[in-house]
Amino acid sequence: MIAAMAWLVLCAAESDQPPSPRPVALVGVRPLALLASGISLSYERALGERLSGVAVGALRSAASVDFDSLTVTAGIELRAWLRASTPMRGPFAGVHASVGHTRLYDNAAGYIGASTSLNQWLGFGWRFVVRDRFAIAPALGLVMHEDFSASGRLATGPRITAAIGLELGWVIRSAHPESRT
């Protein structure tokens, strides 16, 4: 994994080619979700020279053996790019909020219950762009997680933990030559 990331960093180095049109969007996947039996997709759009917005959607089915579960999550993120000379690449600071809804089933008895969770994330990351198209963005931060239950049987209360993130994506560039940076 370390060797792969080192290779990506080397490939992302600036070349002597003329600058490409500025990035306007990115379609991404968050592969760490696969470790939790899920999938997470994102769409990021430039909102200005140093600001972008991200929409995130995820599905997860983590229960096993005698139980089934399904979690559906939707969220938004706002990223501030810390270097104006490289829009939507390099260092960024981000804030994220998402809501997830989980339904739990017993295979013999049926529906058990549901909960809704709220996640808020504050962190920093760095986006590397390989060959002017493929992006990898590791990130570190703090997340505050809180569960809510309509039945009142779930103990609620916020928990704050450290978090890591990884996003792989495809950069979409403007086709207009006047948008070059």
CATH-assigned architecture of domain 22-173: Beta Barrel (2.40)
Domain edges within the chain: 22-173
pLDDT tens per residue across span 143-177:
999 988 877 766 677 899 999 999 999 999 876 55
Task: List all residues 6 or more positions away from 73 whose beta carbon is below 8 Å from its beta carbon.
Answer: 40, 56, 57, 58, 59, 60, 98, 99, 100, 101
Distance separating alpha carbons of residues 71 and 54, to the nearest angstrom: 20
Going by C-alpha positions, the residue among 54, 50, 56 that lies closest to residue 83 is 50
pTM above threshold 0.75: yes
pLDDT tens per residue across span 90-103:
999 999 999 999 99
